[in-house]
């Protein structure tokens, strides 16, 4: 039966594929793909575990005291039967063979299938047998974890690209995905994803956009309603997931997919066209990246630099061992070299809130820490509380500046005392490098404006910084008191709120008036609905996911900033700024 699940649209496009439910079972296991040549040995691993568990059950039965209740022996026989039943190990083998799942993942996928079958049973006695299947699976998983091979823990390392053809593409369905795990998925085979929790600018959604694959988050019940291997359509524009669509619906979506491909090809032709408005203003379109390897996509998309390198992603998935100065330096240098002389803005770590160091989802983090981590020790607050780590990162960034144009960006600054501490740390590090004759280039220091306090005292901040970059994702979160990762309040997360627009306008105007660089690097910069308004406010530098550059460029090429500037006040005063801006784009600025 076809059903629809509604959520929040966070990454555009249409994906059609088979559902892969990750970590939806009670048992947390590693999820990775095995290469074709490893399939046989993975199946052998499963069989070996089955044989050991079988011997274990035999042993338990044999050693049972004579006066033990006979139900116990009968139960061990049932477990033995389950273990050898085709629907468990046989079907698990099929997941490994056809899907190339690792044995643990295949087992938990099959457990999911069986558990649902048991849940649907009328007979209460049979329904309760689900617990026996779970116990047998747990024994098998325990056994597998004792064998040599991959460590337990979701996505222990990057899955290799799948090297088998023919099968349908795969889409990921999960309750939540930690940002650290999203980085692994980034290099994997999924062509779309759906999560139960999350908001438009939760970091999971941001990584999905950077992957340029359709995604729906905040779909509440999705991981319960969707079953392993269901055929699903993700409509990333409407925020809808269609499970087991009818042929007509499927055909409709396949048609949409073809149109999207054509539209992208058309936009791609703008890649190397300079972004200049109709009235001759050059506009800088920069890329947001998470890892040095993303620099290639940035260049490919026609970015004229990196406006935001979220360095915290280098610090994730480290099992507690943070990257040292040299390792960080190499990563920054690689990004700088890859950008071939174009500027690279490296942001110091923004750890905390929904980007914990450990592999944890935002929800788990909240549960664990209780308090609201978005208001806690995050970003520069964390860095200043770890001064030697902070200096280590600053040294690594400065050293990379010997290889190209580097800008240093500090997240979440709100206090003048923080500004002083940052400047002291930067001068101390420069001095250390001078003393040891390590070369570095001229590095501008900038602040992210993402806390209302910083936007309100922008004039004072501009005395200390060379440039500012507005992080609208957090600016909206903190101005409106809406947790950006919480789908329960996602409907109130409103980039069009007049208070947000005013802070944004004020920041851009002040920076321009003081001759300081100003950029927007939050998600608003890559959203075409805001392009004309931001141009009208005087913004000439936008930083976004590489995949968004062409569509923003198209709007820039059609814009006349004189007309847009004259209409900004009208949008800011409008009862419905979104509608007013759409009208402005359609009738005046963009033709």
Among 42, 229, 235, 474, binds ligand PEP (CB under 6 A): 474
Of 61-69, 207-215, 465-473, 510-518, the segment contacting ligand PEP by CB under 6 A is: 465-473
Contact 287, 543 (CB under 8 A): yes
521 binds ligand PEP (CB under 6 A): yes
| Contact pattern from residue 431 through residue 450 relative to Mg ion, giving x for each residue in contact according to CB under 5 A and a dash for the rest | -------------------x
214 binds ligand PEP (CB under 6 A): no
Q: ∠ CA 31-36-38 to the nearest 5 degrees?
A: 70
Residue 546 interacting partner from Mg ion, ligand PEP, none (CB closer than 5 to 8 Å by kind): none
Q: Which residues contact 7 (CB under 8 A, 6 or more apart)?
A: 194, 195, 216, 217, 218, 219, 220, 222, 239, 240, 241, 487
Of 174-182, 238-246, 387-395, 466-474, the segment contacting ligand PEP by CB under 6 A is: 466-474
Contact 227, 250 (CB under 8 A): no
Residue whose CB is less far from ligand PEP, 471 or 546: 471
Query: DSSP letters along 188-246, please?
Result: SSEEEEEESS--TTSHHHHHHHHHT--EEE--TTHHHHS-TT-EEEEETTTTEEEES--
473 binds ligand PEP (CB under 6 A): yes
Catalytic residue status for 100? no
Active-site entry in 79, 203, 365, 545: 203
| Tokens 């559902």 -> residue | 19
Phi, psi of 438 (to 5 degrees): -95, 130
523 binds Mg ion (CB under 5 A): no
Query: DSSP letters along 461-496, please?
Result: HHHH-SEEEE-HHHHHHHHHT--TT-GGGGGG--TT
450 binds ligand PEP (CB under 6 A): yes
Q: Is the dihedral of CA 314, 319, 320, 322 positive or negative?
A: negative
Residue 521 interacting partner from ligand PEP, Mg ion, none (CB closer than 5 to 8 Å by kind): ligand PEP
Beta bridge partners of 449: 470
Residue whose CB is less far from Mg ion, 477 or 550: 477
| Contact pattern from residue 333 through residue 352 relative to ligand PEP, giving x for each residue in contact according to CB under 6 A and a dash for the rest | -----------------x--
Residue whose CB is less far from Mg ion, 96 or 308: 308
104 binds ligand PEP (CB under 6 A): no
Minimum CB–partner distance for residue 483 and ligand PEP (Å): 13
Of 250-258, 368-376, 468-476, 535-543, the segment contacting Mg ion by CB under 5 A is: 468-476
483 binds Mg ion (CB under 5 A): no
Among 181, 418, 474, 560, binds Mg ion (CB under 5 A): 474
Minimum CB–partner distance for residue 356 and ligand PEP (Å): 13
- Written as six digits, the tokens of 19 are 């559902």
Catalytic residue status for 203? yes
Active-site entry in 365, 505, 521, 545: 521
Strands annotated E in 249-401? 284-289, 306-310, 344-347
Contact 484, 476 (CB under 8 A): yes
Among 472, 541, 554, 563, binds ligand PEP (CB under 6 A): 472
Among 471, 526, 536, 546, binds Mg ion (CB under 5 A): 471
Q: ∠ CA 454-455-456 to the nearest 5 degrees?
A: 90
Contact 586, 334 (CB under 8 A): no
Ramachandran sector of residue 531 (left: φ over 0; alpha: ψ -120 to 50; beta: rest): alpha
- Written as six digits, the tokens of 567 are 């209409």
Of 64-72, 244-252, 398-406, 472-480, the segment contacting ligand PEP by CB under 6 A is: 472-480
Note the residues at the interface with ligand PEP (CB under 6 A): 206, 308, 310, 350, 450, 471-474, 521-522
Note the residues at the interface with Mg ion (CB under 5 A): 450, 471, 474
Q: Indicate which residues carry an active-site annotation.
A: 203, 521
């Amino acid at each position: 039966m076809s059903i629809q699940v509604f959520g929040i649209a966070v990454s555009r496009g249409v994906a059609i594929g088979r559902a892969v439910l990750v970590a939806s079972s009670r048992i947390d296991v590693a999820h990775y793909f095995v290469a074709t040549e490893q399939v046989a040995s993975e199946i052998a691993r499963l069989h070996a575990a089955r044989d050991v568990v079988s011997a274990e059950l035999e042993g338990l039965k044999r050693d049972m005291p004579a006066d033990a209740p006979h139900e116990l022996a009968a139960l061990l026989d049932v477990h033995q039967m389950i273990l050898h039943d085709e629907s468990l190990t046989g079907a698990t083998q099929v997941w490994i063979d056809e899907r190339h799942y690792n044995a643990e993942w295949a087992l938990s996928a099959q457990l999911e299938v069986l558990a649902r079958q048991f849940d649907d049973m009328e007979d209460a006695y049979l329904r309760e047998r689900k617990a026996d299947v779970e116990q047998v699976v747990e024994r098998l998983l325990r056994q597998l974890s004792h064998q040599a091979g991959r460590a337990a823990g979701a996505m222990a390392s990057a899955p290799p690209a799948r090297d088998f053809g023919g099968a349908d593409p795969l889409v990921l369905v999960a309750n939540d995905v930690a940002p650290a795990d999203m980085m692994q998925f980034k290099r994997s085979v999924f062509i779309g994803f759906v999560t139960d929790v999350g908001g438009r600018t939760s970091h999971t959604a941001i990584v999905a956009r950077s992957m340029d694959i359709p995604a729906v988050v905040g779909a509440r019940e999705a991981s319960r309603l969707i079953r392993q291997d269901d055929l699903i359509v993700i409509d990333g524009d409407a925020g809808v997931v269609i499970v087991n669509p009818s042929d007509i619906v499927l055909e409709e979506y396949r048609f949409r997919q073809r149109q999207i491909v054509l539209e992208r090809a058309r936009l791609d032709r703008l890649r190397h066209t300079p972004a200049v408005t109709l009235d001759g203003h050059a506009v800088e379109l920069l890329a947001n990246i998470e890892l040095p390897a993303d620099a290639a996509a940035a260049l490919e998309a026609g970015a004229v630099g990196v406006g935001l390198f979220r360095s915290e992603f280098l610090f994730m998935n480290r099992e507690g061992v943070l990257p040292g100065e040299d390792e960080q330096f190499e990563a920054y240098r690689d990004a700088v070299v890859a950008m071939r002389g174009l500027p690279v803005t490296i942001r110091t770590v923004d750890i905390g809130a929904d980007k914990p160091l450990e592999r944890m989802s935002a929800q788990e983090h909240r549960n664990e820490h209780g308090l609201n981590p978005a208001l806690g020790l995050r970003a520069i607050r964390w860095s200043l509380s770890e001064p030697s780590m902070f200096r280590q990162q600053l040294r690594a960034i400065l050293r990379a500046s010997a290889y190209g144009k580097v800008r240093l960006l500090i997240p979440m600054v709100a206090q003048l005392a923080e500004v002083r501490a940052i400047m002291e740390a930067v001068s101390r590090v420069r001095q250390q490098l001078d003393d040891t004759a390590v070369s570095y280039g001229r590095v501008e220091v900038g602040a992210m404006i993402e806390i209302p306090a910083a936007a309100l005292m922008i004039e004072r901040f501009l005395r200390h910084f060379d440039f500012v970059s507005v992080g609208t994702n957090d600016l909206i979160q903190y101005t409106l008191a809406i947790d950006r990762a919480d789908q329960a309040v996602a409907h109130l997360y409103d980039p069009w709120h007049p208070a947000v627009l005013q802070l944004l306008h004020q920041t851009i105007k002040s920076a321009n008036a003081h001759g300081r660089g100003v950029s927007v690097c939050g998600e608003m910069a890559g959203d075409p609905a805001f392009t004309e308004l931001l141009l009208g406010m005087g913004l000439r530098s936008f930083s976004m996911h590489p995949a968004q550059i062409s569509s923003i460029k198209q709007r820039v090429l059609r814009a006349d900033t004189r007309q847009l500037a004259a209409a900004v006040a009208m949008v800011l005063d409008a009862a419905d700024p979104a509608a007013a801006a759409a009208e402005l784009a359609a009738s005046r600025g963009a033709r």
